[in-house]
Structure 1
Amino acid sequence: MHKAMRSLIQEVLTDVAAKGLPGNHHFFVTFDTMHPDVEIADWLSDRYPGEMTIVIQHQYEGLDVGNQGFAITLSFGDQPEPLYIPYDAIKTFVDPSVEFGLRFETQDDDAEDAPVEEAPMEEMAAPEGENRQDAEVVSLDQFRK
């Protein structure tokens, strides 16, 4: 089942890469920075050991979606940083604009790697003329139970 849910993430990101983010859609993506296939700058992994949350919204470039993960360039303090995030490293994927979210348990939590939360997602339609989008790192601790 987790493979199907990660495939959904791939499908959504593929649509965003082709058409841009429609309307108020944006994504919070939390991932394991220690995953062996994650590619981020050393200073980011030092600053965010264990996990990091990015927001894909207004300022991002080069979203390239593949079969195993996605690459994206985000701006950190006006400095572009390329990231590569494999789907297997994703812990949560949330679109708060439509109350959609997936959370994947990790083996560290003594549970199967399976989605444990989800909500319906409205079909996305791309706005015209939008190419460049924002992203930022945020903490989701305030939303955790």
Structure 2
Amino acid sequence: MLLLFLVILIAASPAFAEPCSKPTARSKIAETLRLASEQRPVNLTFRTGADGVKLSIGLKTKYPDDMTIILQSDFEQLNVKDDRFDVLLRLRGSRERVTVPFHAIKSFWDTSELKCSDG
């Protein structure tokens, strides 16, 4: 029983997750993003200063390094491309358009598993 617990814990550890920069991880990201919904929340952390990231000045000021978002119920117009996604987030009564290239993603997971992590 203890061995099974350790295997599950190690598999879920960020140290053992595939780096988000690998092509296979980016493919998983795109595939999983397309399934984002209230029934299947998708979580990701990205570098806000990375090339190609588009945020409002207010979000960039509030999150100068990293930002974590959960795509569950407060989003619209999710558009997934081969190298990036953009989405309209509803944050505290306002709408914010966010564009995130896959190379800016630090970690990505859904309710079932950690898909990738860069540390």
TM bin, normalised by shorter chain, reads 0.7 to 0.9
Q: Which runs of 4+ in 1 moved over 2 A?
A: 20-23
Of residues 35, 39, 42, the one that matches 2:57 is 42
Deviations 1:90-130 (A, max 9, x none): 000011x213342024xxxxxxxxxxxxxxxxxxxxxxxxx
Of residues 58, 74, 80, the one that matches 2:89 is 74
Structure 2 match to 1:120: none
Aligned residues: 99
Structure 1 match to 2:114: 100
Q: Is the 8 A contact 2:75 2:88 kept in 1?
A: yes
- The gaps in structure 2 that reach 5 residues or longer are 1-18
Greater RCO (Cα-Cα under 8 Å, separation 6 or more): 2
What is the TM-score of this pair, normalised by structure 1?
Answer: 0.63
What is the TM-score of this pair, normalised by structure 2?
Answer: 0.76
Deviations 1:41-85 (A, max 9, x none): 011011001100001111110000011100000011110000000
CA positional deviation for 1:22: 6.4
